[in-house]
Amino acid sequence: MLKYLICFSLVILSTSLPVAILHGFYDSCKNDYFPQLVHLLKYNIGDYAICIETGAEGDSLSSSFQEQADKACEEINNNPKFNGDFSILSISQGGLLARYIIQKCKMKGTVKNLVSFGGPMMGTSQVPFCLGGVVCFIINSLVDYFVYGKSIQKGIGPAGYFRTPAHIQNYIDSESFLVQLNNEGKNIDNEAKNRFTQLNNLVLIGFENDKMISPKETAEFWIYDEKFNLVPMNQTEAYKKDLFGLKSFVEDTSKKFVVHYLKGEHIEFDFDDVLKWAVPYLA
């Protein structure tokens, strides 16, 4: 299959950048998909690509999201290929790990391009696949109540990017991973804001039938308000106040900001999609 897809490859680019791949929730670089993806990127971009393992031996559930981000940062730092400019291809929650590397990882290199497939860029607001009905209402209400407890934040990775629209002050007061990444709390990191604007290309790929992240439009920095109405990216406080540099980046005409939705469910994409939506922006 991979050989067939490579037949549709682009011309190898001589000025390409190394690529770090960040996988999604409860996934691992050991899965067969990632060696194929690495090979595809190397063949079509003409430089270095590697999958970065996060969590404890690939366990992205039982370690805190901060621990996973720190591990990803460490892996980047320990690889001399990333001492200069490089790109990131992220999948699902890997998009938030990518943002951490871009904004907060103390490293020699600089991320110039990010392509995100199904990243919960502004967090997720409901339990996956539990978006309606009485039972799901009860489950989500319980999650809203307990999710910002220290033991939950420390022991369950996705809790670090859970955003509760109906209890938004609890979310902000928690100083969770996502709150800090967005500069929404008391501790403002201006350097993180400046670093975000150093990107050249930001490509956000969402999925029309995504029920894993909520809202599915979080893939393009949308959120729910307290009544679960959708708030577009440019109407969020994070954008209007330019809390972490998103507004500065998007409104800079020298940058490329691309949003596209694929048919299908969460991260339901193939190598043709990588060739079309990732390769041209990663080099």
Helix %, strand %, coil % of the chain (to 5): 40, 15, 45
Tens of pLDDT, residues 101-123: 999 999 999 999 999 999 999 99
Q: How confident is the model at residue 6 (pLDDT cuts 50, 70, 90)?
A: very low
What percent of the chain shows pLDDT beyond 70? 85
Q: How confident is the model at residue 41 (pLDDT cuts 50, 70, 90)?
A: very high
Whether the per-residue pLDDT at 139 is higher than 70: the answer is no
- pLDDT-wise least confident of 153-162, 208-217, 264-273: 153-162
pLDDT of residue 136: 57
* CA distances, 84 to each of 9, 17, 71, 112, 232 (Å): 26, 9, 19, 10, 34
pTM of this prediction?
0.90
Average per-residue pLDDT in the chain?
Answer: 88
**What integer is the mean pLDDT of 56-68?**
70
Of 242, 226, 238, nearest in space to 122 by CA = 238
Whether the per-residue pLDDT at 189 is higher than 50: the answer is yes
Between CA 90 and CA 20, with CA 127 as vertex, the angle to 5 degrees is: 10
CB 82 within 8 A of CB 50: no
pLDDT of residue 156: 82
